[in-house]
Amino acid sequence: MSAAKPRIPVEERLFSLVLALLATEAGLTKLEILSTVQGYRQRFSASGDNANLERQFERDKDDIRELGVPLETVDDPSDAGNNQNLRYRIPRGSYELPADVRFTADETTLLHLAAMVWREGSLSTESHRAMLKLRSLGLSPDEPVLGYAPRLRVRDSAFEPLSMALQKNVVVSFAYLKPGEADAGIRTVEPLALFQHEGRWHLFSRMPGTSTTKTYLLRRIVGTVTLSNRGFTPPPGDQAAIGMAELSEVWNAKSAIVEVVEGSDAATRLMKRRGTREEGPGRLLLHYADLNILADELAGFGPEVRAVEPPELREAVIGRLRQILADHGADGGANHG
């Protein structure tokens, strides 16, 4: 029997992809990525079917773009239109700090110390070996590419117990706090898959004894996830792909209009969101799956962004800004008009 293929954490696979694409100006083809980058190469078959792996790569591209990483595609001039020969890269100029950002000597020292600790402590042996793999492609990353880190979110505390439940195919229970509710409600479900959407972890699940499925945002699971002794048989098919497709359908159906200060951080970041469309000068159409998550994001930009519609999004953003003012001793009279 062949040895089991190692399970590579999602964060490490995404990091390795960003690392590889930063290390080359010319970019890498899909074949080069799948056959050499950590997290893909373990599952790559030189002579077999790599359709599932290619779909994984497509999802990963969306994830790192949604995390603010400027991934570009470059067409091969000698074979225009052939997707197999597209090259992928991350231009350093778009990923580095703006030229007008300056640090004091003390701040620079602290950043160097933090970078040293991160480089030595957060990379696995496989990630260090990835540098050698890049050089085997003829790439020579002279600049300290390890000084770049994608803004990957730390896994929610519910991730590990849910992952264990998925491996064992057992029913789980957890407390789930919905936005606007004071108390969490208990959910008992059959976990079918964990997947990322817009850079956040979700659980795709089924109600025990039914065919009804539901998706939960891991960040709203509070307390401990309890694994039961009740087993179940998962349905056939790629459940992560099914869950993501259902959530993507919701995402495509919901849109919002916002106004941004042109040239601001909000304008730059929101324009990089997947599906964003300019509706006019400083006016953007955004897609979203969860109104409360979008409201949190928009409120974080402060005066650089103004929610226009739908009305419930506008009210949600205003409510968050007023709460910020109240928490900091202001009178709570935020005006988002």
Q: Over the stretch 38-70, which tens digit does the pLDDT of each residue have?
A: 888 888 888 888 888 888 888 888 888 777 778
Distance of CA 287 to the CA centre of its chain: 15
> Measured between alpha carbons, how far is 82 from 73 in angstroms, rounded to an integer?
12
- For residue 100, what pLDDT is reported? 61
CATH of the domain at 223: 2.30.30
Residues 21, 139: one domain?
A: yes
- For residue 323, what pLDDT is reported? 83
* 284: confidence class by pLDDT, cuts 50, 70, 90: very high
CATH of the domain at 313: 3.30.70
- For residue 112, what pLDDT is reported? 54
Write down which residue in 147, 168, 198 finishes a domain: 147
- For residue 258, what pLDDT is reported? 95
Q: What's the domain range around 114? A: 10-147
Residues 197, 282: one domain?
A: no
Structure tokens at 139: 């790439």
Write down which residue in 216, 236, 251 finishes a domain: 251
* 137: confidence class by pLDDT, cuts 50, 70, 90: very low
Residues 242, 300: one domain?
A: no
> Measured between alpha carbons, how far is 174 from 160 in angstroms, rounded to an integer?
13
Cα–Cα separations (whole angstroms), residue 281 to 24, 190, 262, 278: 34, 47, 8, 7
* 190: confidence class by pLDDT, cuts 50, 70, 90: very high
Quickly list DSSP for 146-179.
Answer: GG----PPPPPTTHHHHHHHHHHTEEEEEEE--T
* 5: confidence class by pLDDT, cuts 50, 70, 90: low
Q: Nearest-5° angle of CA 140, CA 145, CA 148?
A: 160
Write down which residue in 102, 127, 147 finishes a domain: 147
Number of domains in the chain: 3
- For residue 117, what pLDDT is reported? 47
Residues 17, 143: one domain?
A: yes
Q: How many CB atoms lie within 10 A of CB 157?
A: 15
Inside any domain, residue 79 = yes
Return the closest-CA partner of residue 246 out of 308, 203, 199.
Answer: 203
- Average pLDDT of the residues in 263-284: 87
* 229: confidence class by pLDDT, cuts 50, 70, 90: very high
- For residue 198, what pLDDT is reported? 76
Inside any domain, residue 286 = yes
- Rounded to the nearest 5 percent, the helix, strand and coil shares of the chain are 40, 20, 35
Inside any domain, residue 332 = no
Return the closest-CA partner of residue 282 out of 271, 290, 273, 272.
Answer: 271
Residue 322 DSSP SS3: helix
Question: For the ranges 123-127, 254-258, 286-290, which has the lowest average pLDDT?
Answer: 123-127
Please answer whether residues 196 and 58 qualify as being in contact, where contact means their C-beta atoms are separated by less than 8 angstroms: no
- For residue 119, what pLDDT is reported? 45
Kindly compute the dihedral angle of the four CA atoms of residues 169, 174, 179, 183, in this order, to the nearest 10 degrees.
160
Q: Is the pLDDT of residue 215 over 90?
A: yes
Residues 217, 275: one domain?
A: no
* pLDDT, tens digit (0-9, with 9 covering 90-100), for 72-124: 888 766 666 666 678 888 886 665 555 566 666 666 666 555 544 444 444 44
Say which residue the tokens 């789980």 belong to.
172
* pLDDT, tens digit (0-9, with 9 covering 90-100), for 231-246: 999 998 889 889 988 9
Please answer whether residues 8 and 42 qualify as being in contact, where contact means their C-beta atoms are separated by less than 8 angstroms: yes
Inside any domain, residue 287 = yes
Cα–Cα separations (whole angstroms), residue 179 to 147, 251, 287, 315: 37, 18, 19, 14
